[in-house]
Amino acid sequence: MYKETTKKKQKQSILRNINHLLPQTLLTKTEICQHEHGCFENVVRKALKNFMIGFALQIIFKNLLLIGKPTKLLKKL
């Protein structure tokens, strides 16, 4: 009964704008799929998240190394 009364905010599909470019099999869920939008979209979401985290860490580490050398930091700016 508790599950029926509370509605979970559903994530929007990130592939909705390019669905005309993808085969229909990548956009549909199978019977055994437990993901919200499907396995393929789950893989895309996780890959994008990991890429963004890695890219942010790379930028942070590059800038941390430049702090020790002010002349290089000024040249980069």
Interval 15-28: pLDDT, tens: 777 777 878 777 77
Residue 63 lies in a domain: yes
Residue 1 lies in a domain: no
Residue 5 lies in a domain: no
Three-state DSSP string of 3-28: HHHCCCCCCCCCCCCCCCCCCHHHHC
Residue 28 lies in a domain: no
Q: Total structural domains in the chain?
A: 1
pLDDT value of residue 53: 97
Residue 60 lies in a domain: yes
Give the residue numbers spanning the domain of 68.
36-77
Residue 77 lies in a domain: yes
**Environment class of 39 (CB within 10 Å of its CB; exposed 0-12, middle 13-18, buried 19+):** middle
pLDDT of 31 strictly over 70: yes
Residue 74 lies in a domain: yes
Residue 73 lies in a domain: yes
Q: Pick left, alpha or beta for residue 38 (phi over 0 → left; psi -120 to 50 → alpha; otherwise beta).
A: left
Interval 46-61: pLDDT, tens: 999 999 999 999 988 8
